[in-house]
Amino acid sequence: PVPTISWRKVNGHNPSKARLRKSQAVLEIPNVQLEDAGMYECKAENSRGRNVFRGQLQVYTYPHWVEKLNDTQLDSGDQLRWECKATGKPRPTYHWLKNGVPLWPQSRIEMVNGVLMIHSVNLSDAGMYQCLAENKYGTIYASAELKIL
């Protein structure tokens, strides 16, 4: 006999935008987002028995800003702390530029996971800074100016 087919997201709910087509044999998820990722199960059953298949849906995305930089004015001797934060899959890595040139850690400069800290800023730290967030799908940039008073 013709089986009855059903779909479910294991450990979650089917996305509300999901549609079933072709006698429920096809699960279609338009405009897939990160939250749609997960294990899905298709079950076919009739009076003669049932069969279940599971498949993992993985969603990858380019980086997208969650938190950007703002232009900042500091007094000489103050501490700068800028954080740029992006989402994406795979998780983005961060790089910093100052006036278009890669910035490297130094005795006063720390860079960890999108956070730039400059201890005891001075006039030489003034300039345009960029944070880059990148994964294998793309690179995004955020810019801000640091002025020292």
Give the 3-state secondary structure of the chain: CCCEEEEEECCCCCCCCCEEECCCCEEECCCCCHHHCEEEEEEEEECCEEEEEEEEECCCEEEEEEECCCCEEECCCCCEEEECEEEEECCCEEEEEECCEECCCCCCEEEECCEEEECCCCHHHCEEEEEEEEECCEEEEEEEEEEEC
Residue-range definition of the domain harbouring residue 12: 4-57
Q: Are 143 and 74 found together in one domain?
A: yes
Q: Which of 57, 74, 101 is the last residue of a domain?
A: 57
Global pTM? 0.72
Mean pLDDT score of the chain: 94
**What CATH number corresponds to the domain at position 78?**
2.60.40.10
- Domain count along the chain: 2
93 shares its domain with 142: yes
Q: Are residues 93 and 140 in the same domain?
A: yes
Q: pLDDT tens digits, residue range 82-106?
A: 999 999 999 999 999 999 999 999 8
